Amino acid sequence: MKADVIIIGGGIAGLWTLARLRQLGYAAFLIESAALGGVQSIASQGIIHGGSKYALGGKLGDSAKAIGDMPAVWNDCLSGQGELDLSGVRINTRKQLMWSTPGAVSKVAGFFAGQLMKDRMLQLDRKSFPAPFDNSAFKGVIYELNEPVLDTASLMSTLVEQFGQYCLSADVSFEKQNPLLVNCRHVASGEQMQLATCQLVLSAGAGNAAILGQLQRDMPRMQKRPVHMVMVKGELPEIHAHCLGASANPRVTITSTRMQDETVWYVGGQIAENGVALNREQQIDACRQELKDVLPWLDFGRLQWSTLLLDRAEVETPGHKRPDSSYVGLDRGVITVWPTKLAFAPRVASQVVELLQQQDLRPSADTAGLPGWPTPAIARWPWEETFWS
């Protein structure tokens, strides 16, 4: 079979790129060996960052500037008016919160009130405090961020509903000396197929390194920045918020999902970065104490706990610092991408399209699907796959 573009890796960035290419008329297909959204995408917190959390040091740095336009792009799509129709995606909240504890030095208060952040953040007065911050025991300050939080499973389902027919479940290998001949093998049936493509796009997250190794390439190089996320389940209020601390990172970032008659908190932020060296029990203890410190009026006694050690795969940077933006690079017929953040998926797709156009790779007339070839399943949330204590 022939294709204009083969994308390997079915996270949000890969699916978004597939969608854009299909819209433009390219015979594009996505290959996923496991589940769509399988590692980083489904395990993200669903936050569409606009740079506010990167401005906690009191200035609008490169990371904040790079990601600042993304919420508007996503909001257009979520309303059905953007480059993709994501109107069916479940939105957990359209506006996140950021709160400070009484003991935190508010060195960024003046900056947040300034012109640069005026359209991104709003300080709430006490009568507008939402639960659980409407408790009289809360003495801090709350900002409202104009940045949505999405249900990642719903996002995956919406994309797959529209473009899943072009997603293939297969392991891949490559013909020697020719990365544009892709061998596909379905794991369960053993069925095999070879796809000849004009352009290969690697969007497999941490899997990009292994694929580049198969292709005998040592560039671009990948780095991993691990986090140790915490999951808490029980009778909890729904929260989508960051807690300001003394450093430039939030102490904790909490997003929530309803599971039957319980709420699951998914906890990241500095606690997740600091907990990389801790085992499961140690990280749970550390997170329980941190939550007691920042939300002391809530009861954390009758809850279930779990953790997830997750590697964030990114392009290598000097000193292994977090990249400011997404990475899209072309080398000898292979485009490699690392989105860095969920919010950057539209930018990744646009950058891939630009590279194709620069090479004068035009859509072919054959945009049909591949009938009969199995489609990958959609990944399940981490809290549906874990064990609780």
> Nearest Cα to 316, choosing from 219, 215, 226?
219
Rounded to an integer, what distance in angstroms lies between the CA atom of residue 243 and that of residue 121? 15
Confidence of residue 199 (pLDDT cuts 50, 70, 90): very high
pLDDT above 50 for 113: no
Predicted confidence at residue 114, as pLDDT, reads 45
What is the pTM for the complete model shown? 0.93
User: How far apart are alpha carbons 106 and 97 in whole angstroms?
Assistant: 16
Q: Beta strand pairing status for 334-338 and 327-331?
A: antiparallel
Highest mean pLDDT among 12-26, 170-184, 364-378 belongs to: 12-26
**How far are the Cα atoms of 69, 200, 273, 344 from residue 48, in angstroms, in the given order?**
10, 28, 20, 9
CA distance 9 to 167: 10
Integer angstrom CA distances of residue 125 from 142, 202, 242: 8, 47, 18
Percentage of the residues of the chain whose pLDDT score is greater than 90 = 72
Q: Is residue 54's pLDDT more than 60?
A: no
pLDDT band (50, 70, 90) for residue 110 = very low
Q: In what order do the strands lie in the sheet with 222-234?
A: 121-123, 141-145, 96-100, 241-244, 252-259, 262-268, 222-234, 304-315
Query: Out of 30-34, 115-119, 122-126, 137-141, which region has the weakest mean confidence (pLDDT)?
Result: 115-119
CA dist 34 and 205 (Å) reads 13
Q: What is the mean pLDDT of the chain?
A: 89
In what helix (H) or strand (E) does residue 283 lie, and over which residues does it extend? Answer: helix 280-294
Q: Are 15 and 357 in contact (CB under 8 A)?
A: no
pLDDT at site 86: 98
Q: Lowest-confidence range among 120-124, 170-174, 366-370, 381-385? A: 366-370
Residue 175 pLDDT grade (very low, low, confident, very high; cuts 50, 70, 90): confident
292-323 burial, b at 16+ Cβ within 10 Å, e below that, comes to eebbeeeebeebebbbbebebbbbeeeeeeeb
59 vs 267, residue with greater confidence? 267
